[in-house]
């Protein structure tokens, strides 16, 4: 192998590292400032970052490699939260996309349901927490219901907008080709609306995380929100912050997974191409 061929991957790696440093330096600096400031002040409410990361490892990742390092605390509080989040988000996606397509395609249904949708969107889901407890009891059903309801509206509205926004020329062309309903749905409607559907689903991930925590702060027996309240009552602030860090990491992870899925499934769509994304 020639020296030139060898130096190319090294140069590529160096560029990647450079890009990483460029994008992360502010975060690193903020963490250093936090560490120094917290040590100088000595506040027990805002402990140094090193202490928070120590608590993070001890609380969540202290198990053996055979358990993927996931501690019993992780299994007791994070897994129930993730299950609730998955069920609520999944239900919202199925319902939101289904109903969004229905009212997008069938104009009378759109006109009929529009006031109801606007009303539903305007009600803060957190205000329904006491009602959800009455309806579902102190069970995971209550958390799933709130997450699903909170995520439903952005997905539904975006799906509706996506369906209604399909280029009329494309629709006319599909009609002139006399496509079957199934082919029209799979080849025209779904691909045409999918960028908007994905946008709604992506917005809803953040909403799902927020509602997951809020619904567990109250009337729960396990979960990340429950853990946060519990540690606050015990004055265990490093542990409390470690749960907040875990939530942030989960948010980043979900967004990364979503971006990846979006990039694969919507490769054809101009806006999700890396070159066009950078130009925005």
Partner 1 sequence: MNTRRTGAVVALAALLFTSACGGAEGAADNADGTTKVSVTTFGCEIWNTWAIGKGVYSKHRLDVELVRSGGGSAAVAAVLSGAADFGYVNGYTAINAYNTGFPIQMVSGVNVNALPPAKPAQGVFVGKDSPIKAAADLAGKKIAVNEINGINQIVTASWLKANGVEPDSVSFVALPFTEQIPAVLSGRVDAAQLGYSLLGNNNDNVRSLADPFASNDKIYIATYVAAKSFVGKGDAAKRFHEAITETAQQLNDPANKDEAFKLLSECQKVPAETLAAQPQNALEAAVDVAALDRMAQQMVDLKMLQKKPDLGPFVTDFARS
Whether the CB-CB separation of 239 and 231 falls below 8 Å is answered with yes
Which of 51, 62, 126, 236 binds partner 1 (CB under 8 A)? It is 236
Among 44, 79, 257, 260, binds partner 1 (CB under 8 A): 44
* Separation CA 258–CA 249 (nearest Å): 14
Q: Among 12, 20, 24, 45, indicate the residue that binds partner 1 (CB under 8 A).
A: 45
230, 245, 259, 273: which one binds partner 1 (CB under 8 A):
230
CB of 129 to partner 1, least distance (A): 11
Question: Structure tokens of 14?
Answer: 């160096």
Rounded distance between C-alpha atoms, residue 209 and residue 247, angstroms: 8
- Eight-state DSSP code of residue 218: S
Residue for token pair 């998955």: 86
- Cα–Cα distance, 163 to 32 (Å, whole number): 48
**Looking at beta carbons only, is 45 or 106 nearer to partner 1?**
45
Instruction: Give the nearest distance from C-beta 226 to partner 1 in angstroms.
Output: 7
Closest CA to 161 of 123, 199, 124, 187: 199
Q: Which of 24, 235, 255, 265 binds partner 1 (CB under 8 A)?
A: 235
Q: Which stretch binds partner 1 (CB under 8 A): 52-60, 91-99, 127-135, 253-261?
A: 127-135
Stretch of 1-9, 161-169, 225-233, 255-263 lying at the interface with partner 1 (CB under 8 A): 225-233
CB 162 within 8 Å of CB 196? yes
Q: Does 28 bind partner 1 (CB under 8 A)?
A: no
> Of 102, 105, 133, 179, which one interacts with partner 1 (CB under 8 A)?
133
Regarding 246 and contact with partner 1 (CB under 8 A), the answer is: no
Quick one: 194 or 231, whose CB is closer to partner 1?
231
Residue 13 as a binder of partner 1 (CB under 8 A): the answer is: no
**Does residue 24 interact with partner 1 by CB under 8 A?**
no
Q: How far apart are CA 161 and CA 164, in angstroms?
A: 5
Rounded to the nearest whole angstrom, what is the least distance from the CB of residue 46 to partner 1 in the complex? 5
Q: What minimum distance in Å lies between the beta carbon of 241 and partner 1?
A: 13
Dihedrals phi, psi of 217, to nearest 5 degrees? -70, -20
Q: Does 214 participate in binding partner 1 (rule CB under 8 A)? A: no
By rule CB under 8 A, what count of residues binds partner 1? 31
> How crowded is the C-beta side of 258, counted as CA atoms within 13 Å?
18
Residue with Cβ nearer partner 1 (15 or 37)? 37
Q: How many CB atoms lie within 10 A of CB 191?
A: 16
**Mind giving me the DSSP string for 159-172?**
HHHHHHTS-HHHHH
134 binds partner 1 (CB under 8 A): yes
- CA 251 – CA 211 distance, rounded (Å): 13
**Tokens linked to 138:** 């102190």
Q: Does 128 bind partner 1 (CB under 8 A)?
A: no
**Spatial distance between the Cα atoms of 60 and 42, rounded to a whole number of angstroms:** 25
H or E stretch covering 76 = none
Interface contacts to partner 1, rule CB under 8 A: 26, 29-30, 33-34, 37-38, 41-46, 130, 133-134, 137-138, 218-221, 226, 229-230, 232-237
């Amino acid at each position: 192998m020639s020296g030139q061929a060898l130096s190319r991957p090294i140069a590529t790696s160096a560029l990647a590292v450079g890009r990483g440093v460029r994008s992360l330096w502010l975060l690193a600096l903020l963490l250093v400032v936090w560490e120094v400031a917290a040590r100088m002040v000595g506040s027990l409410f805002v402990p140094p970052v090193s202490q928070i990361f120590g608590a993070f490892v001890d609380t969540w990742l202290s198990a053996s490699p055979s358990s993927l390092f996931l501690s019993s605390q992780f299994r007791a509080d994070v897994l129930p939260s993730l299950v609730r989040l998955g069920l609520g988000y999944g239900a919202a996606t199925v319902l939101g996309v289904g109903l969004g397509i229905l009212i997008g395609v069938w104009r009378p249904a759109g006109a009929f349901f529009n006031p109801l949708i606007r009303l539903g969107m305007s009600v803060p889901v957190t205000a329904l927490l006491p009602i959800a407890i009455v309806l579902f009891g102190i069970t995971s059903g209550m958390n799933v219901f709130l997450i699903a309801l909170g995520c439903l509206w952005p997905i539904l509205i975006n799906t509706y907008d996506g369906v209604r926004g399909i280029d009329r020329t494309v629709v006319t062309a599909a009609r002139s080709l006399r496509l079957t309903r199934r082919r029209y749905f799979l080849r025209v409607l779904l691909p045409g609306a999918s960028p908007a559907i994905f946008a709604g689903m992506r917005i809803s991930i953040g909403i799902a995380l927020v509602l997951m925590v809020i619904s567990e702060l109250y009337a729960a027996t396990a979960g990340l929100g429950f853990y946060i309240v519990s540690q606050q009552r015990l004055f265990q602030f490093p542990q409390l912050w470690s749960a907040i860090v875990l939530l942030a990491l989960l948010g980043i992870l979900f967004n990364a997974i979503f971006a990846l899925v979006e990039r694969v499934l919507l490769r054809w769509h101009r806006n999700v191409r890396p070159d066009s994304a950078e130009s925005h």
